Each structure stands twice: as C-alpha cells, then as structure tokens.
Amino acid sequence: MAASSQPPVPGTADQSGVYAEDLALYREKFRRRLPASLDELRGPAHGVVDLPLHVAWSGMTSYDLGKPRQRMGLYRTVLHEGLHDDLPRYLNRDLLVQMWPVLRGLVGRTVRAVWEETFPQLAARARSAA
C-alpha cells in the first residue's frame, strides 16, 4: 500500500493539547491584569463613568452607576476588556464584592475563575449569597 501524501489529521490528544495551551494563555491574559489586592480597586461608587474606547470598543461608553443594569454592564465590560491600569480606575472594591454573586454569572467562565482563584473572598461571597 502506498503512503498517503496528506499530513495526518490531528487526533483528539493533539486537539486537546492545543486547546489546553490556548486556554492557559487566555487565563494568563486576565491574570496579568489583576491588581495585587481588591483594596486597590478605588474606582467611583456613584455618578457617571465614561470608559475609553480601548475598554468600551463596542457599544456603550458611558454608564450611570445609579442604574443597576448599567452598573453591571460597566463592571462586565471592564472585567473583560480593561487593562491592568483600568481595573483600579473604574472598579470599586465594595461594589465589586457586593455585585459579585450576580456579576459572576454575567462574565465568562475564564474571567470568573481567574478572579475567584486570586481573590477567594469573591468565591466565598458567591457561596454565601447562594
């Protein structure tokens, strides 16, 4: 029988390895952005927040913290798109902890895992609210 001229199709193990590597890189992207402590999150607790375009590149850029849905939207956007310097500027520790039980369901699995692994008080807050 003649040898095939086509390269072999990657098996499940190869796909799994590539996926795991991609996931690790994705997790690291979020981990590098984290503050050393939640106490560094000194963003506003009320008023209107205007996000720069590198954070709010799609959709709303201005959020009224007095409106719960807008506040959740702001935090979801900053958690996903904010850079290291954006997190302390736009997130407020007390609001984040207060909103976390609901907010954790609005962010992606990777974002949620990275934040809860780094800051166990968020995971504890989610468990106590359940």
Give the whole-angstrom CA distance, residue 117 versus residue 17: 23
Residue 53 pLDDT > 90, yes or no?
A: yes
The DSSP secondary-structure symbol of 40 reads G
- 3-state SS of the chain: helix, strand, coil percent to 5? 60, 5, 35
Percentage, residues of the chain above pLDDT 70: 85
Host H or E run for residue 101: helix 93-103
Structure confidence by residue, pLDDT tens digits, 64-119: 999 999 999 999 999 999 999 999 999 999 999 999 999 999 999 999 999 999 99
Per-residue model confidence (pLDDT) at position 6: 42
Give the whole-angstrom CA distance, residue 62 versus residue 121: 29
Residue 4 pLDDT > 60, yes or no?
A: no
Q: Which 3 state secondary structure label does DSSP give 74?
A: helix
Query: Residue 15's pLDDT band (boundaries 50, 70, 90)?
Result: low
Query: What is the value of pTM for the model shown?
Result: 0.81
Say which residues have a Cβ less than 8 Å from residue 32's Cβ, sequence separation at least 6.
Answer: 84
Q: Which 3 state secondary structure label does DSSP give 62?
A: strand
Per-residue model confidence (pLDDT) at position 9: 39
Say which residues have a Cβ less than 8 Å from residue 129's Cβ, sequence separation at least 6.
Answer: 101
